[in-house]
Amino acid sequence: MSGQAETSSAPGTVRWSLFFFLLSGITALVYEVLWTRRLTLTFGHTVLAVSTVLTGFMAGLALGSLAGGRWADGASSRPGNDPLRFLAAYGRLELFVGLWGALSLPLLGLVEKLYLAVSTSGVTGLPLSMVCFAGSMLVLVPPTCAMGATVPVMSRQLVHQRGDIGRLLSRLYGINTLGAFIGAGLAGFLLLPWLGLGTSLLANAGINLAIGAAAIFLARTLAGPEADPAEPRAAAAAAEGQPLGAPGWIVPFTFGMAGLSSMAYQVGWTRALALSLGSSVYAFSTILVTFLAGLGLGSLLYPVVLRTREPRLAHLAFLQLGIGALGALTIPALGLLPYAFFKLFPLAQENFWRVLVIDVALSGALLAGPTFLMGLAFPLATHLYTRSLTRLGQSVGEVYSANTFGCILGAFVAGFLLVPELGAQRTLQLACLLNLGLAALVFWAAGLRLRWAAGAALAFGVAVLFLPQWRTGVMGGGVAIYSDRYQGVSLEKLDRTLFRPPAYYRDGLSCTVSLNFFGPEDVAMRVNGKVDVSLEDSDRQTMYLIGYLPALLHPAPKSVAVVGLGGGFTVEAFADLAEVERIDCAELEPAVVEAGRYWAGFNGHVLDDPRVHLRVTDGRTFILGSPRRFDVIASEPSNPWVAGVGNLFTRDFYRSCSQRLNPGGIMCQWFHIYSVSEQDMAMVLHSFFEAFPHGMVWQSAPGDLLLLGSNEPLAVDLDRIQRVWSGSPELQRRFFDIGLFRPDCLLGHYLFDRETALRAFGAAPLNTDDRPLLEFSAPLNLYGSHQVDRNQEVLWQYRDRPLPPGVEASPARMVSAAYGWLNIGDLNRVVVYLDRYGAAGAEASRLLPLIKLRQEYSSGALREFENRDRWFPEDSLGLALWGRTALQQGEPAEAADLLERALSNPPAGSRGQLLLDLARCQVQLEQWEAARTTLEQAREATPGSLPGALLGDVYCRLGEFQKAVDAYNQALSCNEMDPQAYNGRGKAQYSLGNAAAARQSFEKALSLVPDSVPSLLCLGILHRAEGDHRRAARFFEEALRYAPDDPIVKRELSELRNAR
C-alpha cells in the first residue's frame, strides 16, 4: 500500500472523517425539519408542503450522489493530486452547504413572495402548486445535491481495499444516520422553541462551515507525498471482486424498490402510531427518531452481522424477506397498540414526559426489528454492487441514488395515493408484499438452489394481504387523549364506550377522521381520535357564536372567510344572516369535507347554499393567498397541541389576517381554556392583540374563548342586534337552542377589552412564526383538563365592567346578561347579582331554578319553578324551561301540561322545540293521536329529520304502516344519515310484507351505527324468518356482544339454537 493510502486511512483520519460525517447527518436532518417548517408557513401544513421538501431533499441527494460518485472515480485516477483530496473536496461541499443554508431563509422568503403574487392574481389549483413547487426546488436542490455528493466522496476518502467496503461504508452510513437521529431530536424537541427558526438555521449553517473549514485544514495538514497514479490503478485491479452471478441491475433495482417500501412503511407506521401515541410534535418526532435509530444501528452493526463472510446475493434476499416478515408482524401489533397504551398509561401519572417515555418504548418495540434490517441494506447493497475499487464512487452513487429515488416515489405513492385511498393498514400490507416480492426476485436471480424460497416468499406475501383488519373504533377512539378519563374502566366496557365502531372512518391526506352516532341528536366527529365536533350544548354554543358574534357586531358583513369546516355549524351561522353575500371556507382535510354529508341534516345542508364556497386547502394558505378581502374572518382550527395547528395561533398569522380585512372588518379567533396552562393562555391573548389595535375577549361556553380583533374601534350596537334577530326566525330559533332567550343575553358572554387583556397578559411571550412556542408547550398540558376552572377564575378576575363598553347597565340589561353568565358557567356572578338586586320580577326570579339546574340539583330547580308559578303564571319562558326540566326528570304528565301552557304564547324561537318536547311527553304517556297532531305541527315548525322520524314511530304504534313509511321518507329527505329513521322504516316495511326493502333499511341503519343492537336484532329476526339460520345467528351473536345482558337478544338466540 502506498503512503497516500496509509495517510488517508490512518485511524486518526478515519475518526475525524466519521466525526465530520456524524455532524453532517445532524445538520442535514435539521435543515429538512427547518425548511419544512418554513414552507408550511407559506403553503400551510399540507401534504404539498411536506412533499415539496421531501422531494427536493431526496432529489438533490440522489443527483448529488450520482454526480459525486462519477467525479470521485475520475479524481482517483488522475495524477497530481494530494493524498487527501477527497477530504478536502468533502470540506468544500460542506462549505457550500453552509453558505447556501445561511441564505436559504431569505431565498424561501422570495418563494413566498412569488406565491403571494401568483395567488393574489387569481391563479389557483395545479398551476399555483406547480409554481410553488418549482420555486422551492430552485432553493432546495443545490444544497442537497452537495449533501448527496458527500457520500461517494467520503467513501473514496475512507475505502482503499475491497475488503473494507462493507466495514467502512457501514460505519459511514450508520454514523450519518445516527447523526440524522440526533438532528431529528434536536429539531423536534429543542431548537425551534429555544432558538427560533432563523437562529437555528444560521447556527446549523455555522456547523457546516466549521465542518468544511476543519476538513480542508485537516487535509492540508496531513497531506503526504504525491502518489504514483499507476499504484492506485494496480491496487484497484487487484481488488476485483467475484462476479455477482446475476444481472447487474438487480442490486440497485432491489435497493431502490426497498427505498419505496421503507417510505411506505414510515408513512403507514406514522399514521397508525399517531392514533395511539398522539398527534403532537413530540409524538411525530419520537416516531421519526425511532425509525432513524433503527436504520443507524443496523448499518453500524453490519460487520458484526456479516462477520467475515463474503456478501452474497442470497443475503440480500433473506434481508428483504426479514423486513417483509417483521413488517407484517407490526400490522396486528398496531391494532392492539391502543390497548397497550391504555394499560401503560397509569405509569405516567398524567405527566406528559412520562407519557413520552411510553411512546418511545412502544414505538421502539414495534419498529426496532424491521428498521434494523433496513439499516443493514445499504452497506450490503453497496458491498455487493461494488465489484471494483475503480468504480467505488460510481457504485456508491448509483446504489444511494436508486434508494433515494425509491424513497421519493414511496413518499408520493404512500402519502398521496395509498393511505388516502386504501388506508394505513393496506399501505403497510402492500409495503410488506413489495419486500417479499423483492425477496422472491433476488432468490430467483441467485440460482436454482434457492428458487424454492422465491415461491415461499410470494406465498407469505399473499398471506399478509389476509391479515385481520384493524378495529376502526379502537384505532380512532383517541386513547392518547382520553386515557386519563377512562382509567378504572374494564376493557369490555371500553369497547362499548371509547372504542365504539364508527359510522365513518377514513385515513385522509393529513389525518384520520372518524364519526360516531350515539343517539338521534348525539353525533361526534374525531380527528386523529380527538373529538373536534359534537352536538353537545357547549360545542354548539361555541360553533354558532364564532359566526354570530362577529357578524352581529359588524355593521353590515358581506364577505366572510371561515378557517376550518368542522361540522359546518359556523358556516351555517353566517348563512343564517341574509345580508352575508359570500362565505369562503377553507378546510385542510378532504376526509372532513367527505364526512360533511353526515352533518348536512344538522346544519341545514349549508354546503348547498350558493353563497358558500368551499376550498380544500390550509387556512393559513387561503388567507395569505386570497385575492379577496373580508368583512369577517373566523378561525376555528383544532387544538394547538396538534402538530402544525400552532401556525394558526401566531402573531404573524394574525397580522396577515388584519391585512386581509376590509375597513371595519373583524376577526374572530376561537381558543380553548381546558387542557392548557395559564402561561399558554396568556401567550395566545398577547399574540392576538399584538396584531390588532382594537379588540375584545368574549367567552362562548365553559372552556371556550372568542377573541375579536379589528383595525378600527369595536362597539356593541344593541339596536342592530335586536333588528337582525327580530327579522330572522332562524336566528331566534338558534338563539333559543343555545340558551340566548333574547338578543341582549349575549352581553353576559363579554369579558373585557384589548387594553385589559394586554395589561393582564402582555408580559407573556409571543407565539411567532420564528419561535412557535405554543406548539411545543401546548402538548405538555394535554392531560390537564381540570385547569379550565383555574383559567376561568384568572380571566373573570379581570372583568372591570359588567357589560361591554358603550352599553348602558340598566336593570333589564343586567338581568339579560345574567343568562349569559349562566351559559359560561359563572354561577357566582349570578348569585352575587341576585343578592345585590334581589329576585323580584319574572326575569330575575327565573334565574333561581336555572342556577339549581347548573348545579345539577334538578329537584330543587323544580321546586323553585313551582314556587314562582304562583307569582308569574303567564311567564311562557319560565313555563317552557320548567316543562323541559320536568320531562328530563321523568315527569311526562306534568311536563305536558306545562309545555301546553307555554305554547299558548311561546317565547321567540321556541315553538318547534317545545312541540317536539310535548310530543315526547305524549309518546311516553301513550297518547298516540295527540302525539300525531303535535308532531305534524312540529314537522312544519322545526327543520331536520327528528319530527318526521318520531311521527313515523307514532304511525307504527297506530298500525298505519304506509303512513309511517312516508313519514320516515320525509325525515330522510331532511337528513339521509338518520339511523333512527332507517330503523323505523325497516320495521314498517317488514310489517307491510316488504322484507327486501326492510333489509336494506336495517343494513343502512347498521352502517351508521355498527353496534346498533336494534338493527342487529331486526336483521337476525328477518333472516330467521327467511330460513337463513346461519346469518340470523351471526346477527344475534353480534348483538349479544354489544348487549350481553339484553333479555330479548338472549331469548332470540336461545330460540334459534333450540330450533336448529
Q: Are residues 910 and 772 in the same domain?
A: no
Amino acid at 36: T
For the entire predicted model, the pTM comes to: 0.93
Question: Is residue 892 assigned to a domain?
Answer: yes
| Cell of residue 1013, nine digits | 343492537
118 in a structural domain = yes
Contact 411, 54 (CB under 8 A): yes
User: d(Cα 847, Cα 831) in Å, to the nearest integer?
Assistant: 9
Cell of 299: 448499518
Residues 594 and 740 in one domain: yes
Edge-to-edge order in the sheet of strand 530-534: 504-507, 512-519, 522-527, 530-534
Q: Which burial class, exposed, middle or buried, applies to 363 when counting CB atoms under 10 A from its CB (0-12, 13-18, 19+)?
A: buried
- Considering the domain boundaries, does residue 792 fall inside one? yes
Q: Which three cell numbers stand for residue 115?
A: 406565491
pLDDT of amino acid 335 = 95
Task: Give me the pLDDT at residue 79, please.
Answer: 63
Q: How buried is 678 (Cβ within 10 angstroms: 0-12 exposed, 13-18 middle, 19+ buried)?
A: middle
Instruction: Give Cα 389 distance to the centre of its chain.
Output: 49
**819 belongs to a structural domain:** no
Same domain, 605 and 734: yes
Same domain, 791 and 885: no
Torsion angle in degrees (nearest 10) through CA of 710, 714, 719, 724: 10
Per-residue pLDDT at 224: 56
Q: Are residues 732 and 627 in the same domain?
A: yes
Instruction: Annotate 182-251 with three-state secondary structure.
Output: HHHHHHHHHHHHHHCHHHHHHHHHHHHHHHHHHHHHHHHHHCCCCCCCHHHHHHHHHCCCCCCCCCCCHH
Picking from 769, 796, 823, the residue at the C-terminal end of a domain is 796
Amino acid residing at 414? A
Is 1002 strand, coil or helix?
helix
- What pLDDT, in 10s, does the model give residues 928-974? 999 999 999 999 998 889 999 999 999 999 999 999 999 999 999 99
In this structure, the answer to whether residues 561 and 678 fall within a common structural domain is yes
Handedness of CA 98, 101, 106, 111 (dihedral sign): positive
In 3D space, the residue among 734, 792, 368 whose CA is nearest the CA of residue 575 turns out to be 734
- Alpha helices per DSSP H over 278-391: 281-300, 302-306, 313-344, 352-385
Q: What cell was used for 545?
A: 357564536
Q: Are residues 599 and 733 in the same domain?
A: yes
Q: Which DSSP category does 416 fall into?
A: I
pLDDT in tens, 652-701: 999 999 999 999 999 999 999 999 999 999 999 999 999 999 999 999 99
- pLDDT reported for residue 310: 81
Domain's final residue, options 239, 257, 278: 239
Residue 719 neighbours by CB under 8 Å, 6+ apart: none
CA dist list (Å): 716 to 73, 269, 807, 814 = 76, 51, 7, 15
Tell whether 61 is covered by a domain: yes
**Calpha distance 517→504 (Å, rounded):** 10
Cβ neighbors of 532 (< 8 A, separation 6 or more) are: 525, 526, 566, 638
Q: Which residues of the chain fall below pLDDT 70?
A: 1-12, 48, 77-83, 159-164, 166, 223-247, 308, 387-390, 448, 839, 1060
Report CA-CA distances (Å) from 1057 to 1020, 1029, 1043.
13, 9, 18
Cβ neighbour number for residue 1058 with a 10 Å cutoff: 7
Which candidate, 792, 804, 667, 832, places its Cα nearest to that of 744? 804
Nearest CA to 96 among 16, 216, 196? 216
- Asked if the structure places residue 140 within a domain, the reply is yes
Give yes or no: residues 640 and 729 share one domain: yes
Task: Specify the CATH number for the domain of residue 544.
Answer: 3.40.50.150
**Hey, how many other C-beta atoms are within 10 angstroms of the C-beta on 715?**
15
In this structure, is residue 530 part of a structural domain?
Answer: no
The whole-angstrom separation of Cα 399 and Cα 454 is 23
Q: Whole domain around residue 206: which residue ranges?
A: 1-239
DSSP letter assigned to residue 668: E
Looking at the structure, tell me whether residues 665 and 791 fall in a common domain.
yes
In a domain, 557, yes or no: yes
Interacting residues of 537 by C-beta distance below 8 A, sequence separation 6+: 701, 738, 739
Q: Are strands 582-587 and 612-616 parallel, antiparallel or unpaired?
A: parallel
Same domain, residue pair 51 and 171: yes
Domain end, chosen from 740, 762, 796, is at: 796
Exposure of 1000 by Cβ count < 10 A (0-12 exposed, 13-18 middle, 19+ buried)? middle
Residues 791 and 886 in one domain: no
Kindly tell me the number of DSSP H helices and DSSP E strands found in the chain.
Answer: 49, 12
Which residue is associated with the grid cell 360545542?
539
Q: CATH number for the domain including 925?
A: 1.25.40
DSSP 606: G
Q: Read off the CATH number of the domain in which 11 is found.
A: 1.20.1250
Specify the number of domains making up the chain.
Answer: 3
One domain, residues 886 and 790: no
Cross-strand pairs, 708: 668, 696
